[in-house]
Amino acid sequence: MEDIEIWFQDEARVGQRGTVARMWAEKGTRPRIVRQQQFNSAYIFGAVCPQKDEGVGIIMPYSDTEAMLIHLKHISANISKGKHAIIIMDRASWHTTKKIKKFNNITIVHLPAASPELNPVEQIWQHLRRRELSNRCFKDYEEILNVCSDAWNNFVDEKGAIKNLCTRDWFVNFDY
């Protein structure tokens, strides 16, 4: 296990037709939340290693094979020297295509179909939406990029956040 790093990967769309989430309000009131009708959006590609309490993220205009390759390249560059990473991800078409290049220090493991609860990165998206990405209006694409960048960086810079939110007993106690 000392030579292996476990990473979890996923992506989330953030944009003008974003998420409406619950919010605190005075009892008996119903606060109004504006929901935009425009369609600008970006995708946060995120990967985390709870063992190291580290994350690697990029923001892309599309969620496709090309973006996935760029993200894998960034993950590969952040794997500790002399280690091999197992990257656990869902079965999105851009994760399973034969066009995904092989990296010498990465093995991709796909989760069973329709099982997002097994990927702790899903909790990161919930956390980011709850704290920084929901119930907002974005002026333009540049503002979407800035808000996504700030949200991701705030999360990964918070000491212990990845380890606390993303550690799972089923991989910590796994016998390699």
Residue 65: what pLDDT? 96
- Mean pLDDT per 10-residue run, the chain (176 residues)? 89 73 71 63 96 97 96 97 96 91 93 92 95 85 96 97 89 55
CATH fold of 4-17+37-172 reads Nucleotidyltransferase; domain 5 (3.30.420)
* DSSP-assigned states of every residue in 85-130: EEEEE---HHHH-TTSPP-TTEEEEEPPTT-GGG-THHHHHHHHII
How do the domains of the chain map onto residue ranges?
4-17+37-172
77, 43, 52, 167 alpha-carbon torsion, rounded to 10°? -150
Residue 173: what pLDDT? 55
**E strand or H helix at 150:** helix 141-157
Residue 171: what pLDDT? 66
Residue 168 to residue 48: CA distance in whole angstroms: 12
Q: How many CA atoms lie within 13 A of 23 on its CB side?
A: 17
Residue 164: what pLDDT? 94
SS3 21: coil
Residue 36: what pLDDT? 47
